[in-house]
Amino acid sequence: MRAAVMYGAGDVRVENRPDPKIVRAADAVVRVVAACVCGSDLWPYRSMPAVDTGRPMGHEFLGVVEETGADVTGLNAGDLVVAPFTYSDNTCDYCAKGLHTSCRNGGRYGFDGVDGGQGEAVRVPYADGTLVKLPVAADSALLPSLLALSDVMTTGHHGAVTAGVGRGDTVLVVGDGAVGLCAVIAARRLGAERIVLAGRHEARTGLGREFGATDVVPERGEEGIARIRELTGGGADKVIEAVGTRQSLDTALGAVRDGGTISRLGFPQYEEGPIGPAPFRRNITLTGGVSPARAYIGQLLPDVLDGTITPGRVFDRAFPLHQAPDAYRAMADREVLKALVTP
């Protein structure tokens, strides 16, 4: 099969790889119908040292089950399924608590002999625990929004849930990437009344407004913080940080109200952060983390199916698989918000 493989910063190649086969009895092989490039794929795209053996890329995909192992009982060949961005057994103590990203048997696509999602097919471990069956046809117009459940929409939702967003709240979302925009959808869905979106890319913040943002703050740094504090009457109680840089964390800390909560969704591009006396005196809570997408797909699926939420609108360009390198380049250059990749 053909699949996208990264060999270092800026070096994504589409090449032949072995066709996936059932290895363990809990596996399924899924023929990919739609995949995409994640904002987090851009971190290695910008910084990965050159390697001889490339890393299969992609962790967001949906597709059709082609074959199942002997222990798989909940899926059949022909089922259309979406894959959360990590696989998990859905039976261990962590999964039972809804923290599938800490699954005792879980793992990541593209590592440990498991295929990446940006390819023609994927062997999915713990298929029963991982994959969620979709009650639509493989040519449904809902496919982009269903694909968004594999990561960006469930991640945005994780931010809103862990920040404790509820009816009538004022919420700040830092970052106008696909996750930030999905966090706007999620905050609105949970009842937030005022949603301030910090971002400066007009096409994206425009979509953010359509998703429910009531205010957009393009200014950065101290100027942006001052503007947000003014708009929110002294700071936001709930902040969703959807970038991952120290600068965006500083914006979140500057704009959150005393006693407020910052939920981090952007993968931290730092090892240490400012958690000394200042936020301690202000009783700031820092929460969030890698979203247990599997736990949320079932909650969000009905709203996607009936059109209440349309997170698939974050996909603003589709690339055939052989153009995956272009998809990376276009996203890295911010020409494209989120790239759909179809085999």
> What residue ranges bind its own copies (CB under 8 A)?
93-94, 97, 99, 101-102, 162, 234, 258-259, 264, 267-268, 270-277, 279-290, 292
List Cβ neighbours of 223 (8 Å cut-off, separation of 6 or more): none
In whole angstroms, the minimum distance from the beta carbon of 340 to its own copies comes to 27
Nearest to 109 by CA among 145, 60, 179, 37: 60
- In the complex with its own copies, the residue whose CB is nearer, 38 or 147, is 38
List Cβ neighbours of 190 (8 Å cut-off, separation of 6 or more): 160, 161, 165, 166, 167, 169
In whole angstroms, the minimum distance from the beta carbon of 265 to its own copies comes to 9
In whole angstroms, the minimum distance from the beta carbon of 239 to its own copies comes to 14
DSSP 11-68: EEEEEE-PPP---STT-EEEEEEEEE--GGGHHHHHHPPP-SS-EE----EEEEEEEE
- In the complex with its own copies, the residue whose CB is nearer, 167 or 281, is 281
- In the complex with its own copies, the residue whose CB is nearer, 1 or 290, is 290
In whole angstroms, the minimum distance from the beta carbon of 125 to its own copies comes to 19
List Cβ neighbours of 23 (8 Å cut-off, separation of 6 or more): 113, 123
- In the complex with its own copies, the residue whose CB is nearer, 206 or 259, is 259
- In the complex with its own copies, the residue whose CB is nearer, 289 or 325, is 289
Give the Cβ contact number of residue 219 at 10 Å: 14
In whole angstroms, the minimum distance from the beta carbon of 251 to its own copies comes to 16
In whole angstroms, the minimum distance from the beta carbon of 257 to its own copies comes to 9
- Exposed, middle or buried: residue 304 (CB in 10 Å: 0-12, 13-18, 19+)? buried
- In the complex with its own copies, the residue whose CB is nearer, 94 or 211, is 94
Pairing mode, strands 236-241 and 170-174: parallel
